[in-house]
Amino acid sequence: MESISRRAFLATTSMVSLAALMPRELLAAAYADSLPSGALTGHRAAVVEAATARLVPGPTDDPGEVGHPGAREAKVTNYISAMLGALDPSPPRVFAGGPFSNRAGSKRNEMARFIKLDDVERIGWKMRLDDLKQQYATGIAALDHAAGGDFTAAAPAEQDTILASDPGGFMSLLMQHTIEGMYSNPEYDANAGLVGWRDISFPGDSQPRGYTAAQVSRSDGPDPLELNAVVQGALALIVSTAPPES
């Protein structure tokens, strides 16, 4: 277990359901109380921040991550909240404009000028976001229930156990949005201060400046370490610890 990083293990377990369905009464209560316009606030925002900080921990969440920002540092919760409330501002924060940001020589950030939706697009996005809001309301309620009432009050080790057990089947969605919030364009309230890009040495958008001939021809270093062995090890651990089928 010590050879498998928390990030690799939880990234894998987010896609493999290990446990249990929520009680019907909890599910009904969650659906009766879906997220309002404005998305994540108060306790719900705190639960999402605590959960995403365990999925991708930073130095304040895990001493082993010193030097590597996590979901808390990238302000992933802000990204998720902005996404769920993307139709609230005008124009909606769905399609960033272009062609360039101001990160590579442009005088202004055109990507921050969001594109207006037509009526059909708005209806389609409203349906998608209403469904996502409902999934978050249900998922947050499941995390609180699994922690005895308040997920944020649980110890980090208990939070990890709850997340790995995937109550309510919420972890795949939350992991997807956590990764998006870590590494997406900052115009979407993601990747605060470009900490995600810097951590993986991604240069970001390079236009209109582009690259010199020397930069194009020069090697950018060895290929990233393959994680196949780590993922296979995590999957083997999941299978070995999963409860037997009845």
- Label residue 70 exposed, middle or buried (CB < 10 Å: 0-12, 13-18, 19+): buried
Return the residue matching tokens 């956590």.
178
Q: Provide the 3-class DSSP secondary structure of residue 147.
A: coil
Task: Please state at what angle helix 119-146 crosses helix 171-183, rounded to 10 degrees.
Answer: 120
Q: Provide the residue-wise pLDDT of the chain in tens; the chain has 246 residues.
A: 343 454 454 444 433 333 333 344 433 433 334 454 457 889 999 999 999 999 999 999 999 999 999 999 999 999 999 999 999 999 999 999 999 999 999 999 999 999 999 999 999 999 999 999 999 999 999 999 999 999 999 999 999 999 999 998 999 999 999 999 999 999 999 999 999 999 999 989 999 999 888 888 887 666 655 555 555 666 666 666 666 665
Closest residue by Cα to residue 184 from 205, 169, 168: 205
The answer to whether the predicted template modeling score (pTM) of the entire model surpasses 0.85 is: no
Cα atoms found within 13 Å of the Cα of residue 120, Cβ hemisphere only: 0
Q: Are 151 and 45 in contact (CB under 8 A)?
A: no
